[in-house]
Amino acid sequence: MYDVVLLVEQELSEPDAKRVVELHQDMPEPVTYHVLVPCHNAEAGVEASISALGTADLYGPGLAGQREDLVEAQRAIDSEAKGCSGRSVQRLRELGQNAEGGISHDRPIDALVATVNHVHGQEVIILTRPHIVAEFFHLDWTNSARRHLGVPVLHLLEHEPASAGAEPRR
């Protein structure tokens, strides 16, 4: 079994799923894809934003009354991430592939490293939108993964969905 871990920002589009599968079509052994979707932690995000603004003293105690709202926001975020993971796995399965998926609230690279170690992944594919500034400074997921993992790491840019009536990009 050849295990490939996919770290994705958003659900795999049909063209992206086909492109990933085509990369492994000549493998002599079966391939299993492990789709990982990082999931934003709403409470940590709010607290980090308030701290960054230097207003934690003003708003910190007020967060206690907002816990229910944050819990509800986290449920919505988790639900969307689980849907993203599930639809991505389904697209791979529709192409005849073995696939499983999940979400993580950990930092994306920490979750990726843990997943690769857990499934004994032999390859990592990271699918993202272009992040020019992060890539320029080597702060993007791909460069970070390459520093932390001893397996091949491939970075693919996600296909943009075509809008109805839009001119094709050249």
- Which amino acid appears at position 157 of this protein? L
Of 154, 143, 135, 160, nearest in space to 15 by CA: 160
Report helix, strand or coil for 13.
coil
| C-beta separation of 105 from 135 below 8 A | no
Neighbours of 7 (CB within 10 A): 26
Task: Give the C-alpha distances (Å, rounded to integers) separating 25 from 20, 21, 22, 63, 74.
Answer: 9, 6, 5, 51, 38
To the nearest 10°, report the CA torsion of 66, 68, 72, 73: 20
Quote the tokens at residue 28: 């002599």
- The 3-state DSSP composition of the chain as helix, strand, coil percent (nearest 5) reads 50, 20, 30
Tens of pLDDT, residue by residue, the chain (170 residues): 999 999 998 889 999 999 999 999 999 999 999 999 998 764 554 454 444 455 545 555 555 567 777 778 788 888 898 999 999 999 999 999 999 999 999 989 999 999 999 999 999 999 887 655 445 444 567 778 878 887 867 777 766 654 444 444 33
CA–CA distance, 81 with 90 (Å, rounded to integer)? 14
Please name which of 71, 84, 106 lies closest in space to residue 8, comparing C-alpha atoms.
84
CA–CA separation, 26 and 31 (whole Å): 10
- Exposure of 168 in the CB half-sphere (CA atoms within 13 A): 1
Q: Name the one residue in this structure whose structure tokens are 């308030």.
A: 50
